[in-house]
Structure 1
Amino acid sequence: MTISRTALAAAAAALACTSVWVGRATLRRILGDAVVTAQELWLRPESLKTYVSGFCPWTCAVVLVAVVGGYFVCVLLFTPMDRVRLLGELGYVPDGKVDMKEMSKLVQRRRQTGDVPPVYPNGWFGILESRSVTPGNVRGVSVLGLDLAVFRETEGAVHVVDAYCPHQGANMAVGGRVHGRCLECPFHGWSFDGATGKCSDIPYCDNNSIPSLAKVKSYPVLERNGFVYMWYHAEGIEPSWTPPVIDEIHTGQWTWRGRTEHVVNAHIQEIPENGADVAHLKAVHGACLLSGIDLGRVYDNCWSFSEHLWNAQWTPNSEPDERHIATIHLTHHLTAFGFRVSLFNMKVLARQIGPGIVYLTFETPFGRGAFLQALTPVGPLMQRMVHHIYMERRIPTIIAKFYLYGEATMFERDIMIWNNKRYASKPVLVKSKEDALVAQYRRWYSQFYSEHSPRFTLHKDTLDW
């Protein structure tokens, strides 16, 4: 039996709280000599078995409930949130004959795709989270129609190269070994420099005889704000801009409090387009957060007395060196029985940076923070969206988790739309400032496509790209 220190800490906290509630003397009368201090539990974990063996069944039950309850309270209050929802877990409505996962497959087969723009725009993409790439290890990633090997050298720098060895095609992300800043192929031991992609060593060949074609493509990469970003451009053009550093995160004023991850069945352009589509806010996000994510039922429940009010404005940046950025000013209010609840007011400044990055800094009555979005194509019409939340150090983690949960719930309502819609290349728009923003957004986003950007075609139920 192995007892983790986390469990011991929870047990100690639970016993401490129980002793405060009923009084230590009373607790000692109930548990007798089995009462131990937090220090004893922490320093002598092996003694826990001895104490427990002397408990009566009811005493064991009380202690067990206290320990389990203490553990879950600690998780709720102090552990960062990690919410993952994959394709088929939400966003579809089962018809009673098949479950949601099967329904997702049926919708993908039957859905009309529409005349979609190129599927992989040019720009920086968050392909991994920094914490998932440890020194000396390699990760395989399939994004943007590419199979990549991502590794961190022992000195800390991250490199991204094509996964397949040019020698005999082995996947270096599977079994590859990291030596310095080089990645060694597991098949024959060829090593490739992560910065240049050139072969630096062949065990059975003199280094002066290494063929010039013995190289893999290496991609521009940078790390900031908790993500590993890779530059992709269909024409092979070098980066013309970089994602900005958020000073409060870099200096540690704001700390990481959790993440969410979703997989969406849609064209990449449609997801950030919601930022400019201000008319959808009331229809999709007006119902109370606690009403859930099923758009067909969000107004048919006991939470109809509460409503979210949104006011948003989307604007593309006009500065020559910031044309890849668009700004959204957003305010939020919550009402209950027609009265505004100021505790949940929120003021948001969102910046879409290129085709797949959004930084949302926000102010609330509890303090300031930021949502960071990394949107990356894992297939022609399949996107992975990762959200991180950072908040001021003084703010309890449970408050940050509440905001992240709220953001995830609203995003999952959008997923129900995205997973089931087709791309409307020629939407029927009305003469209004709301629909005018959608048209303006599409013109702005088109800058991220170029002549050789991969396109999606449908031929007799076969996908070619």
Structure 2
Amino acid sequence: MMGVHGFKLHLFFGVLVAVIIAVAFGNSSPQLIRDRIRETDNPFMQSLLDMLENPVETARFFVSQVTLFSLIVWPLIIYCSIRIMRVMFEPLHVERKAGDMGYIMDDGRSKMEIANEMMRRRRPGNLPPVYPNGWFSVGRSMDLKKGDIWYKSMLGLELAVYRGEDGEARILHAYCPHMGANIAVGGRVKGNCLECPFHGWSFEGKTGEVQSIPYASKIPSNAKTKHYKCLELNGIIHLWYHAEGEEPSWYPPDVKDIQAGKMKYHGKTDHVVNAHIEEIPENGADLNHLTHLHEPILFTGRDLRHTTGGLGQYMSHLWEGEWHQDKDISHIGVLNLKTKIAVLGVTLPAIEINAKAEQVGPGLVYLHIFLPIFGEALLIQTVTPLEPLLQEVQHTVFAVPGMPRILAKFALWAESVQFERDLMVWNHKTYEAKPMLTKEDHLVGKHRRWYSQFYSENSPRFQFKKKDGLDW
């Protein structure tokens, strides 16, 4: 018979060879096929024919090769192969819940216990209004299927988000004006309306008007609930919020390549940050923190206690950047960024990445990452206030067709690592209304003046009360 390696090789290519035989000798008799194979004097084909003609002997040989070593090694090889395939070809999905990241877990308490204690102990500072005016993400389009309903609490609002049978997303006030039931909990999508689970009142999502009441002979003329302006764009469901109830004065950019499907989806990450919303986009103008917090090579991890040790002593990121307000569109701030890698202080000329981040309003960022040879990856960041000092931050990455998925996923993973370094600071810091700045920090003040345009007279504020604790 054949050796062990020959057997495994034949087993691997068996199906392929069977197909070849079927094609080559499809109209021949079995005996003629055997004769033709014998005539070829091909060892590989001869061995295969031996296997087919002596199935009992082949089975005995296979059993004789099953050892403890092979029982361990082959499953391990299969597992590793599956993992590699997933890394190469499946989108990256990372979800961090409140308390998962940015806290030190050294005293045996749970993540949530430490997170809640830090929220109680932290001095909030003299905060700006907690809910700025603008477009905010309610969630990703891909996650809301036809007939789905979300109950969402954000911006001090209680919302019922659903997708009608026509495929459009709609947003209503969550509580039924009839008797106060939450229509997002147990409600049903009927056509393009949302039906209350309590008495069956049916609301149209674009107007808030009641379309039917099962037991009523007539619908009252004032029977309606509050509805919210909803915009689905670039794979995100947006809600317009304004403290004075004004109509939108601007809209997020329409990325045509995403809408047309030319830029492909490659992954997403979700985080929860215990901080004021303005702290997060302010990072874009704080260029000096890049050369300290984000200098250690990203492979050193997220925990700031350890990033400067190990590999961080020998490899580092070098950053150059500048931030400015867009000269034509006042609600857009622009960060141009360049990063290189240095080993033992020597810059690697072949590794240079350029990026452009557009801060669109108070809660949207479009980060364009330009990679040599492969083109552009677009990373969309959304920041949504769930509570006054609790932000939901989502990142979604798209890339041009020529970019391998693993490269787009690496860009998203790298952003996630760097973001989680900031998260460790945000979760513990206080907001300084009058920071002690040097002249090199002037962009921080410039960014705060730019961001203030998103607050108005009635924007909700957060107050610290000694007796009652935190309130707003």
**Given the two structures, how large is their TM-score scaled by the length of structure 1?**
0.86
User: Which amino acid in structure 2 is aligned with residue 399 of structure 1?
Assistant: L
CA contact (8 A) 1:344 1:364 kept: no
Alignment partner of 1:439 out of 418, 442, 445 = 445
Contact 2:95 2:269 in 1 (8 A): yes
Does 1:428 find its partner at 2:439?
no
For 1:159 and 1:98, the matched residues in 2 are separated by 41
Equivalent pair of 2:382/2:393 in contact (CA under 8 Å) = yes
For each residue in 1:161-209, what CA deviation from the matched residue of structure 2 results, as whole angstroms up to 9, or x when unmatched?
1111111111111111112221111111000010000111100113xx3
Deviations 1:230-286 (A, max 9, x none): 101111101111101112222333211001111000000110000011111111111
| 1:307 and 2:316 are equivalent in the alignment | yes
Is 1:325 aligned to 2:332, yes or no?
yes
Alignment correspondent of 1:377: 385
1:58-457 matched pairs, under 5 angstroms: 58=68, 60-206=71-217, 209-319=218-328, 322-365=329-372, 366-430=374-438, 432=439, 434-457=440-463
**Inter-CA distance 456–38: structure 2 relative to 1 (3 Å threshold):** farther
Deviation at 1:75, TM superposition (A): 1.0
User: In 2, distance between residues paired with 1:300 and 1:202?
Assistant: 67
CA distance in structure 1 between the aligned counterparts of 2:223 and 2:464, rounded to whole angstroms = 36
Partner Cα separation in structure 2 for residue 67 and residue 36 of structure 1 = 18
Match of 1:19 in 2: none
List alignment gaps of at least 5 residues for structure 2.
20-58
- Tell me the SS of whatever aligns to 1:241: coil
The separation in 1 between residues aligned to 2:286 and 2:228, in whole angstroms, is 34
What is the letter of the counterpart of residue 198 of structure 2? F
In 2 relative to 1, CA 298–62 (structure 1 residues): closer, same or farther, beyond 3 Å?
Answer: closer
In 2: Cα distance, 1:344 partner to 1:175 partner = 53
For residues 111-155 of structure 1, give each alpha carbon's deviation from its aligned partner in whole angstroms, at most 9, with x where no partner exists.
111110111111000111000110122111111111111111111
**AA paired with 2:323?**
W
Shift of 1:74: 1.4
TM-score, length-normalised on structure 2?
A: 0.85
1: distance between equivalents of 2:245 and 2:319?
Answer: 41
> Which residue identity lines up with residue 166 of structure 1 in the other structure?
P
Structure 1 distance, partners of 2:173, 2:234, is 24
Query: Distance in 1 between the 2:383 and 2:18 partners?
Result: 46
CA distance in 2, matches of 1:318, 1:364: 26
Paired residues of 2:377 and 2:400 also in contact (CA < 8 A): yes
Question: Secondary structure, in 3 states, of the residue corresponding to 1:212?
Answer: coil
Separation in structure 2 between the aligned mates of residue 38 and residue 439 of structure 1, nearest angstrom:
71
Letter of the structure 2 residue corresponding to residue 419 of structure 1: N
Larger Rg: 2
Q: Is the 8 A contact 1:181 1:195 kept in 2?
A: no
Q: Distance in 1 between matches of 2:18 and 2:289?
A: 55
- Aligned pair count reads 423
Structure 1 vs Structure 2 CA RMSD: 2.3
For 1:117 and 1:251, how far apart are their aligned partners in 2?
Answer: 39
* CA separation of 1:437 and 1:253: change in aligned 2, threshold 3 A: same
Q: Does residue 7 of structure 2 align to residue 26 of structure 1?
A: yes
C-alpha distance in 1, partners of 2:447/2:258? Answer: 29
Residue identity in the other structure for 1:451: E
Cα deviations by residue, 1:287-330 (Å, 9 ceiling, x for unpaired): 111111122321122331111111111111243xx211111111
Give the Cα–Cα distance (whole angstroms) in 2 for the partners of residues 136 and 333 of structure 1.
Answer: 47
1:14-73 CA distance string (max 9 Å, x none):
xxxxxxxx97x43167x69x9767999xxxxxxxxxx9xx96465554543343222212
